[in-house]
Amino acid sequence: MLLETLFPGNNIGDVAFVLGTPHPHDVVATSLCECLLLPRRPFQELLRRFPKLAVSIQKNAEKVAPANRARDAAIIDSLLHEPKVLQTAGSRFTYGLGEVDL
């Protein structure tokens, strides 16, 4: 089931990484791509060295996580009832039976 198409500069699993929760989806490349892996230990050291950055990143992740979960649930529900290919246009996702503004 396709939930989203990623483009250059997009990231995957950032909220789960910061919050220490499992990433809820598998990611499959459909073409050759270059990925950057950020190991947890150096990232945590960076946050220890810059506490204000740590607070900012944590707050943003906590703010975004519920909206991401709601969006994912709505997409999955819609696709289960009337499967369609997900299309993106800016911050508007069109899928299944309706649209969601982010």
Query: Angle at Cα 89 formed by Cα 22 and Cα 37, nearest 5°?
Result: 35
CA Rg value for the chain: 16
Look at residues 29, 38, 26, 22 and name the one whose alpha carbon lies nearest to residue 8.
Answer: 29
Residue 54 lies in a domain: yes
Task: Give domain status of residue 90, yes or no.
Answer: yes
Residue type, 37: L
**72 lies in some domain:** yes
pTM of the predicted model over 0.75: no
Q: 45 lies in a domain?
A: yes
Structure tokens of 35?
A: 């990925």
Q: Is residue 5 part of a domain?
A: no
Q: Is residue 3 part of a domain?
A: no
Q: What is the pLDDT of residues 5-50, one digit of tens each?
A: 888 888 888 888 888 888 777 888 888 888 888 888 998 899 899 9
Q: Which domain covers residue 24, as residue numbers?
A: 14-101
